[in-house]
Chains A and B, each alone.
Chain A
Amino acid sequence: MNVLKVSKWTIAAFVLPALLLYACLVFVPIIVSLYSGLLDWNGIGTSKFVGLGNFTKLFFSDPVFWPSVRRTLVLALLSMGIQIPFALFVAILINRYIKRPNFLVSSYFLPVILSVVIIGQLWKTIYNPSAMGGMLNQILEGLQLQGWTRAWLTDPKVATYALYFVALWQYLGYHVLIQFTGIRNIPSEIYEAAKLDGAEGFKADYHITFPMIIPIFKISVVLAFIGSLQSFDLVMVMTAGGPAHATDVISTHMYHMSFLSLKYGYGSAIAAFLVVFCLLATLVINLMFNRIEKRYS
């Protein structure tokens, strides 16, 4: 199918600029951090090779590590279990009942394209104590629910959930948009044929919409996973992992170890774990969906 036969110099001229930049700034750093994960090194001075020492410490005696992994996973699961199904439900309803859906879908999407700094600081202001003008606590006081007011971001019991909520809130519109586009692309003849067979409304959704948008659903799931890793920025902006590590996720833990405690070797070990974790998760998600797709085709 590729027709152009050209000299290898031409090929190099086309491919190498992008490939070299990419290799130097993405691949080499990853390999470097896999290696420096084996060192005891503070960035200055000499480093000592400690083998898997950093990893044993990480897995067996770091009290912050496993909870931070758990938080990253819980966010991904909440996103897959609540946010995406809800987005699908909303997308189905918009598609069925709203005549001019574009305005609505674009409005839901607006928070997605704003920087996490804006979103994070905005919600920080909303979560503020009411003596500092926080909207949420002011609403609760207005409803005579003083008992429900909280220091949302500094109370370790609720801070994580306050953060989860913002992350789910910001990207809800993205999932609605994706599912909505997926539903729009299902040919309407299929629904008409189903109507003749007596399937309408949610029955038609069960037999047609769900199987037809599985590929789109997979995209949403992958995005949910990536999104839960990207919640890193949001956590950094809103709580920086505090109070007392109560909201740490994998990446914030890595960031603190590398840039604040200056344990470069240990930070690299966490980074290496993060890369492997990501590759494995992508693999698992793909395998899972291959199986589901096979069952439905």
Chain B
Amino acid sequence: MNRSVSTAVKPAAEACALWSAFKKGAVVLMLSVLFVTQLYPLLWLLTYSLKTNEEILSGRFFALPEAPQWINFTQAIEAGQYFRYLLNSLFVTTVTMLGVILLSSLAAFAVARFRWKYGQVVMLLFLVGLMIPMQATLLPLMIMFKNIDILNTHLSLIFPYIAFQTPLSVFILSGFMRTIPHEVEESAIMDGAGAFRMFRSIALPISIPPVVTVCILTFINIWNEYIMAATFISSDRLKTLPFGVNSFVSQYSVNYGAIGAFLVLGALPVIVIYFFLAERITKGMVTGAVKG
């Protein structure tokens, strides 16, 4: 009798195991397909950038290049001023980052730690700013910059970049600074430290983690920003990387390989950074999304 029970159970258990193996297989397949759809276009771009025009036009999009055409890259770099755009982007992003950290950590400290009437009002003002679409300010900003004569300079990018990154940064930083225990401050007051020293030697050093988050968000947003750069900048030598890439690609419309090469070069800095800091960047972006 015992035996009959066990034989009855066994096929059922096997079927169950088979079913769950099948389910797991289906899931892995689906996730792999998604992996391909999300990454293959980038890989395709890489092979595209190393092909000759004939190879690109031949229709064998899947094939690897016969011989890698590095000349596409040298052409892109020489004709397209890649390094100048890169340097411009580096400069604008770095200055913006420093400005954002300085201004928003000061404001966040005041909102989080000072006893004053209008702290909440200031915070509310910044919160409204989170909801304002940047595009709506393009025209008035352009007129304003023309009037104070900074249109077509890097300042016309850095100022609005800092301003638009400030609300979220203040929000993230003040959220963190609120959690600093009061005992730390009280002992500092005992030592006779003023507000500035407390900010510089206590609050700021403790707040390194949120400052890193702010840095990451600022970097991703500003490094990739296109439309303001394209609106406020007109000299070729001042263009930032996304704008430079776009004008190069629009001008060079028949040298497909060189276009591909320039796109690869344009994507490269962010991909390299992401390769090393993927976890920090994804964490930072989630924090940014959750706070926003």
Residues of A within 8 A of B (CB): 1-6, 8, 10-11, 13-15, 17-19, 21-30, 32-33, 36, 43, 90, 93-94, 96-98, 102, 104-118, 121-123, 125-126, 130-133, 135, 138-139, 141-142, 169, 172-174, 177-178, 181, 216, 219, 222-223, 229, 232-233, 236-237, 251, 254-255, 258-259, 264, 267-268, 271-272, 274-275, 278-279, 282
Q: Are A237 and B103 in contact (CB under 8 A)?
A: no
Binds A, one of B6-14, B41-49, B74-82, B206-214: B41-49
Q: Can you sample 5 A-B contacts with CB below 8 Å?
A: A117-B242, A117-B266, A125-B263, A223-B292, A233-B227
Q: Are A125 and B226 in contact (CB under 8 A)?
A: no
List, in ascending order, chain B residues with CB within 8 A of A112's CB.
285
Give the CA-CA distance A279 to B131 in the complex, in Å.
Answer: 6
Q: Are A229 and B135 in contact (CB under 8 A)?
A: yes
Q: Does B201 contact A (CB under 8 A)?
A: no
Give the CA-CA distance A138 to B35 in the complex, in Å.
Answer: 21
List, in ascending order, chain B residues with CB within 8 A of A18's CB.
103-104, 106-107, 166, 170
Given A118-B245, A118-B266, A229-B135, does the pair A11, B144 have CB atoms closer than 8 Å? Answer: no
Interface contacts beyond A24-B163, A113-B270: sample of 12 additional A-B pairs, CB < 8 Å, sorted by A: A4-B115, A15-B110, A15-B111, A27-B125, A28-B144, A30-B136, A106-B279, A107-B35, A110-B38, A172-B38, A259-B138, A278-B131
Within 8 A of A (CB), among B154-191: 159-160, 162-164, 166-167, 170, 178, 182, 185-186
For B41-85 the 0/1 string (1 means CB < 8 A from A) is 110110010000000110101000000000000000000000000
List, in ascending order, chain B residues with CB within 8 A of A181's CB.
286
Q: Are A11 and B110 in contact (CB under 8 A)?
A: yes
Residues of B within 8 A of A (CB): 24, 27-28, 30-31, 34-35, 37-39, 41-42, 44-45, 48, 56-57, 59, 61, 102-104, 106-107, 109-116, 119, 122, 125-126, 129, 131-133, 135-141, 143-144, 159-160, 162-164, 166-167, 170, 178, 182, 185-186, 195-196, 198-199, 220, 223-227, 230-231, 241-243, 245-246, 249, 256, 259-260, 263, 266-267, 270-271, 274, 278-279, 281-282, 285-286, 289-290, 292
Q: What total of A-B pairs shows CB separation below 8 Å?
A: 275
Q: Which of B24, B243, B271 contacts A97 (CB 8 A)?
A: B24
List, in ascending order, chain B residues with CB within 8 A of A96's CB.
27
CB distance from A286 to the nearest CB of B (A): 10
Q: Are B166 and A5 in contact (CB under 8 A)?
A: no
List, in ascending order, chain A residues with CB within 8 A of B111's CB.
15
List, in ascending order, chain B residues with CB within 8 A of A19's CB.
107, 122, 125
Q: Are A109 and B231 in contact (CB under 8 A)?
A: no
CB distance from A166 to the nearest CB of B (A): 10
Q: Which of A97, A142, A172, A274 contacts B135 (CB 8 A)?
A: A274
Q: Which of A2, A29, A142 contacts B144 (CB 8 A)?
A: A29
Give the CA-CA distance A125 to B258 in the complex, in Å.
Answer: 12
Q: Are A233 and B129 in contact (CB under 8 A)?
A: no
Q: Are B135 and A114 in contact (CB under 8 A)?
A: no
Give the CA-CA distance A104 to B292 in the complex, in Å.
Answer: 25
Q: Are B56 and A133 in contact (CB under 8 A)?
A: yes
Give the CA-CA distance A172 to B249 in the complex, in Å.
Answer: 26
Chain A residue at smallest Cβ distance from B291: A219
List, in ascending order, chain B residues with CB within 8 A of A132's CB.
57, 256
Q: Are A275 and B133 in contact (CB under 8 A)?
A: yes
Q: Are A21 and B282 in contact (CB under 8 A)?
A: no
Q: Which of A2, A14, A118, A139 contacts B107 (CB 8 A)?
A: A14
List, in ascending order, chain A residues with CB within 8 A of B162's CB.
21
Q: Are A33 and B140 in contact (CB under 8 A)?
A: yes
Give the CA-CA distance A267 to B139 in the complex, in Å.
Answer: 8
Q: Are B274 and A6 in contact (CB under 8 A)?
A: no
Q: Are A121 and B113 in contact (CB under 8 A)?
A: no
List, in ascending order, chain A residues with CB within 8 A of B223's CB.
115
Q: Are B131 and A123 in contact (CB under 8 A)?
A: no
Q: Which of B31, B106, B116, B140 contacts A90 (CB 8 A)?
A: B31
Q: Are B103 and A17 in contact (CB under 8 A)?
A: yes
Q: Are A122 and B45 in contact (CB under 8 A)?
A: yes
CB distance from A60 to the nearest CB of B (A): 22
Give the CA-CA distance A32 to B136 in the complex, in Å.
Answer: 11
Give the CA-CA distance A214 to B169 in the complex, in Å.
Answer: 25
Q: Are B226 and A116 in contact (CB under 8 A)?
A: yes
Give the CA-CA distance A115 to B135 in the complex, in Å.
Answer: 17
Give the CA-CA distance A24 to B226 in the complex, in Å.
Answer: 22
List, in ascending order, chain A residues with CB within 8 A of B243's CB.
117
Chain A residue at smallest Cβ distance from B38: A108
Give the CA-CA distance A258 to B142 in the complex, in Å.
Answer: 11
